[in-house]
């Protein structure tokens, strides 16, 4: 089965899974199940929650790397750095757009998995 999800660098993700498509598909399913919790923790960020926010941004960066979601990795890395340095204004400037992007990415992955009968395998 050819995996084509426009927002993902599938080749990069497969490479991290030693070229094993079954492992990559499992990674996609784990991403879909785990990412919403990370995003929920990133909503409503405040000065008091910046340290927890940086942990969530780090988690998003890490799990996005494994599926080849390079844009998510890049932005989560920036958000993590800003939150660690205490730059709430910087985080607030990018956070809402990032969460919207990530929600759309999740929808794309879910849609592809469902369309190709791989959602619960």
3-state secondary structure 12-40: HHHHHCCCCHHHHHHHHHHHHHHHHHHHH
| pLDDT level of residue 4 (50, 70, 90 thresholds) | very high
For residue range 63-102, list pLDDT tens digits in order: 999 999 999 999 999 999 999 999 999 999 999 999 999 9
Sole residue written with tokens 């890490």: 62
Neighbours of 107 (CB within 10 A): 11
Question: Which of 106, 107, 117, 49 lies closest to 79 in space, CA to CA?
Answer: 49
Q: How many of the other CB atoms lie within 10 Å of CB of 42?
A: 25
CB-facing half-sphere around the CA of 19: CA atoms within 13 A: 0
Q: How far is CA 14 from CA 20, 81, 115, in A?
A: 6, 27, 20
* Stated pTM of the model: 0.91
In the chain, what are the domain boundaries?
Answer: 10-115
Domain covering 10-115 assigned CATH 1.20.120 in the classification = yes
């Amino acid at each position: 089965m050819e995996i084509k999800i426009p927002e993902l660098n599938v080749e990069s993700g497969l490479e991290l899974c030693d070229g094993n498509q079954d492992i990559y598909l499992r990674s996609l399913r784990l991403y879909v199940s785990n990412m919403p919790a990370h995003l929920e923790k990133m909503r409503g960020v405040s000065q008091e929650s910046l340290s927890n926010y940086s942990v969530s941004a780090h988690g998003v960066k890490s799990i996005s790397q494994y599926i080849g979601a390079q844009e998510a990795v890049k932005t989560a890395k920036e958000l993590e750095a800003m939150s660690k340095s205490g730059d709430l204004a910087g985080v607030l400037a990018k956070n809402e757009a990032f969460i919207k992007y990530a929600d759309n990415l999740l929808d794309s992955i879910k849609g592809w998995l469902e369309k190709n009968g791989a959602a619960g395998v």
